[in-house]
Amino acid sequence: MEELVVNSMKTTIPSRKIVPSRFHAIQLAFCNFLHYII
């Protein structure tokens, strides 16, 4: 589960310029939500 969060974070960082900031904020919040559950 933690690896999934780390991988999603790694893929989010490089695609930050391509993906809209709104989507990045949602994905970041989702990662924080998963980390909170763990």
Residue predicted with more confidence, 1 or 22:
22
Residues 3-38: pLDDT tens digits? 766 666 666 555 555 556 777 788 888 878 877 776
> Is the separation of the CB atoms in 27 and 12 below 8 Å?
yes
26 or 1, higher pLDDT? 26
Separation between Cα atoms, residue 9 and residue 33, nearest integer Å? 13
**What are the residue boundaries of the structural domains of the chain, listed by start?**
2-37
For residue 35, give both structure tokens: 């980390």
